[in-house]
Chain A
């Protein structure tokens, strides 16, 4: 064991080794219990979506369904409720593409030309931290006037505006991480700024672009309050649809869980894809991970 010889063990290596094994086992047990605890709600959500109504409304609760069946999902598609997942997908994807495009351009200017200095950058990121409710109220009145309530363009513009500060802030960080020499030599070689941006900068920050885009998508995908205010029926997104099932009389548990699972699957994919960038992404670039 190289680990045992590396650190000094005054009381003999054998005893130290055994203690270390126990310690590792204890930590392993702790980690497993913690993970099970934290994942139990997710497990429960998924299980309900596979249960029959009799299993769902059974007291004491049934811990796992007798068989995996997809009736609850079929009901969503048959009833047309699944369209809300499509709405979410369309709105989140569109706003992600738009905010990535304009945000990265802006970030390049901030990073390389110090446009507006530190004050502009701070103002931009501060816009992201304003409570949505305070912003969405006047925007709702504006949208009523424009006739944009319950339209795709209305929701897409709103998510774009709300995600742009995040994109600009993150991409500014990623661009600053790249050495400036290549861009300078490209400029000396006669490239225009646009060519430098497309041929030099974008390829070098592509992992940052990807990570930021996935986060931007997740934020739009998970949003509830903007969609709650700005949608009625045509462009209702899945989080709003989930809350529609909370009736006063009966809770449509099967639908709540099936719809929630549909809305959670893309998140699983995002987490799997992001592994290396999670920390940087959620800490607004403060921790490079």
Chain B
């Protein structure tokens, strides 16, 4: 090598460095990609294989069943109801978190003494483990020893023994309150950061021109922060689609199956009923569905960026 190196051969040197470049760039991504494939590819294939067999806890029937289990999905009302429950929670929680977060962000947008302290305290619920959040609200909602009914009783002027996590009428409000409590600060933090980046000269100019606060908000602020709103909604929307922890801690999907989300239903099918093949079919559908949505959404955002 050293003999060649003394001779002026620029082409070879260049090619050598290119080769090591290429090797280096694939070498360093390889371990990470391999580990990700464990959750990115293996489950997809395994679900697909299992779902065309006939495995349960008791049966080890690996014969090819075709699309039997996929056909069963369409007749499984409990599955569709769990999707509906997930949808209901998402449709109510997501706009509530956005609206509340927006109001809070507007409140903190201008200078305020001790602003940083307020923000640091307000963000705590978002960082706490969702299961802990659910457990906390379970204690708060307790009909006898919890403070919520007590406070409601003060306003009502009479005892209000509401069975929050058991009663059919109050179980959804209970879940939604816990959910909105935990994730409104998330929206607040993102929106505050986005609003702080809005060009102040624009809003001040509009103010001098006599534009109302509402007009300034709608015409100047909202368009400017829209990309952030879209990303926040995407992240939270996907989180809500896989909602599990809070509901599990509060109701375990009950009363009956009334608050089962798609994640809880899948868990029960797989780990309580041991319907291996059928769970494989559900999980396969969920992965494919979500992958398509996520990749499409991210592509669009990448272009906007």
Provide the bound-state CA to CA distance between A111 and B113, in Å. 40
22 A-B pairs with CB atoms under 8 Å apart are A31-B108, A31-B112, A38-B184, A41-B140, A42-B128, A106-B28, A122-B299, A130-B287, A132-B244, A132-B263, A134-B43, A135-B39, A138-B280, A140-B270, A194-B24, A218-B127, A225-B245, A229-B271, A242-B132, A267-B124, A267-B129, A289-B193
B186 at the interface (CB under 8 A from A): yes
Binary CB contact string for chain A from 265 to 289 against chain B (1 if under 8 A, 0 otherwise)? 0011011100100110011101101
By beta carbon, the residue of chain A nearest B146 is: A61
Contacts of B287 in A (CB 8 A): 130-131, 134-135
Check A115–B132 contact: CB distance below 8 A: no
Binary CB contact string for chain A from 212 to 254 against chain B (1 if under 8 A, 0 otherwise)? 0000001001111100010000000001001100100001010
A160 at the interface (CB under 8 A from B): yes
Evaluate whether A137 and B129 lie within 8 angstroms (CB atoms) in the complex, with A102-B32, A122-B298, A164-B32 already known. Answer: no
Interface size class of B (residues with CB under 8 A): 35 or more
B33 at the interface (CB under 8 A from A): yes
Evaluate whether A58 and B145 lie within 8 angstroms (CB atoms) in the complex, with A31-B108, A137-B280 already known. Answer: yes
Option from B21, B38, B279, B291 in Cβ contact (under 8 Å) with A161: B38
Evaluate whether A105 and B36 lie within 8 angstroms (CB atoms) in the complex, with A137-B43, A138-B50, A139-B43 already known. Answer: no
Provide the bound-state CA to CA distance between A48 and B135, in Å. 12
A63 at the interface (CB under 8 A from B): yes
Check B40–A60 contact: CB distance below 8 A: no
Contacts of A225 in B (CB 8 A): 244-245, 263, 267
Option from A61, A127, A137 in Cβ contact (under 8 Å) with B47: A137
A30 at the interface (CB under 8 A from B): yes
By beta carbon, the residue of chain A nearest B147 is: A61
- Nearest CB of chain B from residue A214's CB, rounded to whole Å: 10
From B67-75, B216-224, B230-238, give the one contacting chain A: B230-238
Interface size class of A (residues with CB under 8 A): 35 or more
Provide the bound-state CA to CA distance between A41 and B42, in Å. 40
Option from A42, A109, A165 in Cβ contact (under 8 Å) with B28: A109
Provide the bound-state CA to CA distance between A269 and B179, in Å. 23
Provide the bound-state CA to CA distance between A124 and B29, in Å. 11
- Which residues from chain A sit less than 8 Å from chain B, CB to CB? 7-8, 24, 27-28, 30-31, 34-35, 38-39, 41-42, 44-45, 48, 56-61, 63, 102-103, 105-106, 108-110, 112-113, 115-116, 118, 122-127, 129-135, 137-142, 157-158, 160-162, 164-165, 168, 193-194, 218, 221-225, 229, 239, 242-243, 246, 251, 253, 256-257, 260, 263-264, 267-268, 270-272, 275, 278-279, 282-284, 286-287, 289
- Which residues from chain B sit less than 8 Å from chain A, CB to CB? 20-21, 24-26, 28-29, 31-33, 35-36, 38-40, 42-43, 46-47, 50, 104, 107-108, 110, 112-113, 116, 118, 120-133, 135-140, 144-147, 150, 181, 184-186, 189-190, 193-194, 204, 208, 227-228, 231-232, 235, 238, 241-242, 244-245, 248-249, 262-263, 266-267, 270-271, 276, 279-280, 282-284, 286-287, 290-291, 294-295, 298-299, 301-302
Contacts of A132 in B (CB 8 A): 242, 244, 263
Check B231–A287 contact: CB distance below 8 A: yes
Option from B26, B110, B122, B189 in Cβ contact (under 8 Å) with A282: B189
Check B189–A134 contact: CB distance below 8 A: no
Other than the given A133-B263, A242-B132, A284-B231, 11 more pairs (CB < 8 A) read A7-B204, A35-B122, A45-B139, A108-B28, A126-B298, A130-B40, A133-B262, A139-B42, A229-B271, A243-B249, A283-B190
Contacts of A103 in B (CB 8 A): 32
Contacts of A126 in B (CB 8 A): 291, 294-295, 298
Evaluate whether A139 and B294 lie within 8 angstroms (CB atoms) in the complex, with A109-B28, A282-B186 already known. Answer: no
By beta carbon, the residue of chain B nearest A132 is: B242
- Nearest CB of chain A from residue B38's CB, rounded to whole Å: 5
Option from A30, A115, A130, A160 in Cβ contact (under 8 Å) with B29: A115
Check A137–B270 contact: CB distance below 8 A: yes
Check A283–B112 contact: CB distance below 8 A: no
Contacts of A271 in B (CB 8 A): 120, 123-124, 127
